[in-house]
Amino acid sequence: MATISYMHDALDHVSDPEKCKRCSVRHQAVCSSLAPAELAVLNKIARKREFKAGQNILIAEEDMPYVATVVSGVIKLIQSLPDGRQQIVGMHFPPDFLGRTYGTKSRCFAEAVSDVDLCLFPKKEFENLLANYPDLETRLFQDTLDELDVARDWMLLLGRKTASEKVASFLAMIARRVPLQGCQHSSEPHQISFHLPMTRADIADYLGLTIETVSRQMTRLKTHEIIRLHDNRDITILNMDRLSELAGLS
């Protein structure tokens, strides 16, 4: 299972001051709200860190002296009950920000779903930057407002949608967020192919279902020729309009 491995083990400095310029998310991540001189300051405190799929990134109730930007890979945020039931309460894709400023402990677990590259910032120094660069704080604030909107959309899904609607909503959401595969300009319009970043168990924990129900709904979508399954992970959405209808977005 998940190897225990904290965010602050085995850090590599971003020693090269030019490194930010070569970063794949430099134009989208929170750091893009900084002026060049400010970015140089951030560059000094930034550290790279890789996580293998399954590794813990944040531990609930434990001190976490870093915040981070997701450079590559996918991360899940997990809330859990004492008896082991768990619920995924957020997914982080590049170039999302990860971690909670103002307050030292995380309230959820965060685990790498795939191999992950993070760009870490010591929390204390990062908060100093926030105090000095209002644009950075505004940007982070806006990102948090967006996260709250996403969380509330998901609450509607968890509380009121059927299993069928949940799975359809999930696929529609993933299609919008993960990098797509293959030629998207085929003769068939609305066909979208992508690689699912997570297992059926993760999907179940994300949707408040069991893995069996997720599996059944997937085969149902396959039977109705709304999706095609190549590899359990590689999916083509054959009819995006129909999928959106099923998701309750019509």
User: Backbone phi, then psi, for 121, in 5-degree steps?
Assistant: -130, 130
Cis peptide, bond prior to residue 95, ω within 30 of zero: yes
**Is 209 a binder of DNA (CB under 7 A)?**
yes
**Is 199 a binder of DNA (CB under 7 A)?**
yes
Kindly identify the residues of this chain, within the stretch 183-202, that bind a copy of itself according to CB under 8 A: none
Mapping DSSP to helix (H, G, I), strand (E, B) and coil, where does residue 243 land?
A: helix
Angle between helices 163-177 and 134-160 (to 10 degrees): 150
Burial class (CB in 10 A: 0-12, 13-18, 19+), 80: middle
Kindly identify the residues of this chain, within the stretch 72-91, that bind a copy of itself according to CB under 8 A: 77, 79-83, 85-87, 89-90
What are the strands of the beta sheet with 97-98, ordered from one edge? Answer: 12-13, 47-51, 116-122, 66-72, 97-98
Taking CB under 7 A as the rule, which mask of x and - marks residues 154-193 in contact with DNA? Answer: --------xxx-----------------------------
Kindly identify the residues of this chain, within the stretch 119-148, that bind a copy of itself according to CB under 8 A: 130-131, 134, 137-138, 140-142, 144-145, 147-148
| Minimum CB distance to DNA, residue 208 (Å) | 6
Kindly identify the residues of this chain, within the stretch 94-123, that bind a copy of itself according to CB under 8 A: 100-103, 107-108
| Minimum CB distance to DNA, residue 176 (Å) | 21
